[in-house]
Each structure stands twice: as C-alpha cells, then as structure tokens.
Amino acid sequence: MLTRNCLSLLLWVLFDGGLLTPLQPQPQQTLATEPRENVIHLPGQRSHFQRVKRGWVWNQFFVLEEYMGSEPQYVGKLHSDLDKGEGTVKYTLSGDGAGTVFTIDETTGDIHAIRSLDREEKPFYTLRAQAVDIETRKPLEPESEFIIKVQDINDNEPKFLDGPYVATVPEMSPVGVIRTALPNMDREVKEQYQVLIQAKDMGGQLGGLAGTTIVNITLTDVNDNPPRFPKSIFHLKVPESSPIGSAIGRIRAVDPDFGQNAEIEYNIVPGDGGNLFDIVTDEDTQEGVIKLKKPLDFETKKAYTFKVEASNLHLDHRFHSAGPFKDTATVKISVLDVDEPPVFSKPLYTMEVYEDTPVGTIIGAVTAQDLDVGSSAVRYFIDWKSDGDSYFTIDGNEGTIATNELLDRESTAQYNFSIIASKV
C-alpha cells in the first residue's frame, strides 16, 4: 500500500479575511518561489480593498496512477482559516470526477481517490472546492478551481507496432551491415534466423518494463563457394561402337550455392584424347555431359585420359580474393571391344570371265579379316537372294569364286551378287 501523498490546496477566501488553505504541504505541490499578492473583497464591511501577503500559492495536487491499496488513496487536505474545528464548516467538491473518482470529507477537508486511475486514459482532473457555513449554508468564500494530476508510473512496456518483422540479408555480409551475434552468416549453414528483439523502458517506479518482437531474417545467396568435384578421378567405360555425338558419360561438380550462383561451366583441358571428346552442361542437373566427337576403335587405342575443369558461370567480384572459383578432375575412358563382323579388304570386287568357260573355273577371290583382338577364322557365303545364286560358287574357307554353270554373254552380260563373311 502506498503512503499518503501529502499535497496541499490553497483556496482564496472572500469573507472577513477568512482564508482556505491546505494543511501539511508536501514537495509534490507546485510552489512559487516568490511571495504573491492577491486583492480580496471582504463583505459585511464598507467596501474597500485589503492587500494580503501570501508566502506560497497552490495550483495542483498529485495522485499516483494504478494504485492497488485496500484503502482509498489519500490525495490532500483542504482547510479554511475560518474553520476553528468546531464543526461549523462544511467542505464541498465539484467538477471533473467529483463523487465518482474523488471524494472529500465534509468535516476535515480530506480528499481521497476512490478508484484506480490510469494516466494514459486521463492525465488530470479539474475540480472546484468551497467552504460553506453549516448553519447558514452560505459560502464562506467563493469557489476556487484546482487540478489533480495523475502521476505516471512505468506500467506500460514499449510496443513494436508492426511485428513480426521480415528482413533479407546477403550471406557473408560484413559485420556492421546488420548488427548480429552471428558474424559472417552462411546461407549454406543456415538459411533463416529468428531474432527476438527487446525494447526496455528503464524509467518509472516499477523498473524496466520490456516489449518484444520477432524479426525473421532470411539470408539471400551470394556466389561465395567454388564448385568442387567429389572425387579427383572419374572412370568411364565406352563401347567402341558408340555413335558420334552420343553422350558417353556424366560427371558432376558440387556447388553449395543456389540458383544462378550454382551454375557450372565445364571445359576439357587440352591434352591426351581431349580432341576426341566434348563436354556440355546439363542445365537441369548441372552435370557435365561428355559426348563423342570422333569414332572409337578398340583395336587402335584402348584408353584415353584427359582433365575436365568446372568453374562458376557467374562470378561475384566481391569474393575474388577467396578464389579460384574452379576445380579440376581427371577423366579416364576405357574403350570396350565390340564383337565386330569381319571386314572385307575392299567394299566392291569386279571380276571378268569368258563365256562358255568350263564349269568350276576359278574367276577370282574375296578377302575378309576379323579385326578384333584374338581374331577368328572367317567363313564365306554367297547371298542366295542375289542374281548369281546358281551360276557361281565360293569356297567357304578360301573365298575363291568359281563358275557353277556355262555362261552365255548373249543371254546375260553381267552378274551382281553379294558375299557374306562371318566368324567361325
């Protein structure tokens, strides 16, 4: 329970030199530092003016807001010089809040606040006080107006009006760009931060009340990470029969950045076998797709080795000093042997024979070779769907071609037929 506010009220009195004054003035009152003169008309005597010296002048009382005591809060006391303590003077209170907020003891002049006040709702009350003769019910002095001010206590915390707040900050921002306990915040480590901000009011009787709000901070990505290959060597196996332009393998470098900051460009470093291959970036997966530029031949060369470089497509000049923003890996390609058919020494053979040549005469030979490792024997066959299916024969082992019937130039001057060579 709060102690009494010993505040005083001075009322000007116009009757036989009577004076309504406050008792026990306290430091909370507004006091004048110099004497003040007032001219008072005294009724009942011949009209004249009398000058009265006053040592101080009241104009307001004070009362604490949010008073929680069990008894009404004491505000101050009114007293008239004409009140001799005989119960002949009645004190009255009117005006703002009289009877509902403030009451006065009609006999003693004590003023009390009968309910808790809130300065934020109403900071002051304007009232009027008067001393009245109980018997005659006539005023002993004219009404005097005064103010009761509600004293503020720190009962309201600071408030953030528009929270929660959202902010975006580029990752790796220097300390000072945003005041934070996490310098050099890295989006790849944590994308979002939630910060509780407290505003504290250190004034008032109740100490520091605090208001809080939440700020959601989302880090925006910057290109601060170079691409990195997860391993230094990639092994690929490619059939020698792969067509030109086909994709023969994929490799991938990893960039922890996002969006365009994670876009990677791949290039083959000039070297062994690099001229046989090309590499492009798959825009969807950011993988390096290796393609064949020239045909492969297992019998000619069985392996190729070259280096591939991965670099950021969009560089950020702010992080050049942290470079280089690229990485290199080795690609080793093993060419796989494919079971290829025998190859004829030439694609077209031309032979001449005289008509009426005896049956069984050898007119020429074809040659085919198995180019695969560990070459196999070759067998020859005439494709019986051709024109010469009955006029000629071929030795399956030697590839020699002989007549099978007598030939008549006037009947047929030219024969075309196909020979098939296959591995045994």
3 state SS of 276: helix
The rounded Cα 246 to chain-centroid distance in angstroms is 42
Please say whether the structural domain 233-336 has been given the CATH code 3.30.1280.10: no
* pLDDT attached to residue 21: 45
Task: Quote the mean pLDDT of the chain.
Answer: 76
> Fold identical between 233-336 and 340-423?
yes
Candidates 228, 199, 223, 225; CA nearest to 213 is 199
Q: Where are the alpha helices (DSSP H) in 161-302?
A: none
What is the end-to-end Cα distance of the chain in Å, rounded? 116
Phi-psi region of 87 (alpha: psi -120 to 50; beta: other; left: phi over 0): left
Amino acid 191 reads: E
Helices (H) and strands (E) in the chain, counts: 0, 28
**Residue 270 — pLDDT band, cuts 50, 70, 90?**
confident
pLDDT at 77: 87
Cβ(74)–Cβ(62) below 8 Å: no
**pTM score:** 0.44
Strand partners, 3: none
Higher pLDDT, 192 or 53: 192
The pLDDT assigned to 402 comes to: 94
Residue 87 has pLDDT above 90, yes or no: no
Closest Cα to residue 295, out of 249, 244, 258?
A: 244
Report in angstroms the alpha-carbon separations of 343 from 7, 256, 377, 386, 404.
123, 52, 12, 20, 26
Helix ranges, 238-292 (H): none
Residues 6+ apart with CB under 8 A from 212: 160, 196, 197, 198, 199
CATH 3.40.50.300 fits domain 57-151? no
Q: Which comes out higher in pLDDT, residue 260 or 357?
A: 357
Residue boundaries of the structural domains of the chain: 57-151, 165-220, 233-336, 340-423
- C-alpha span between 158 and 169 (Å, rounded): 26
User: How big is the chain, counted in residues?
Assistant: 424
Contact call for residues 61 and 76 (beta carbons, < 8 A): yes
Q: Is 381 helix (H, G, I), strand (E, B) or coil?
A: strand
Residues of the chain with pLDDT > 90, as a percent, come to 39
Which token pair is 407? Answer: 């030939």
**Residue 155: per-residue pLDDT:** 63
- Please write the tens of the pLDDT for every residue from 183-216: 455 554 565 666 656 565 554 444 455 567 666 6
Other C-beta atoms closer than 10 Å to the C-beta of 386 total 13
Neighbours of 145 (CB within 10 A): 12
Q: Is 340-423 assigned to CATH 2.60.40.60? A: yes
Phi and psi at residue 260, to the nearest 5°: -65, -20
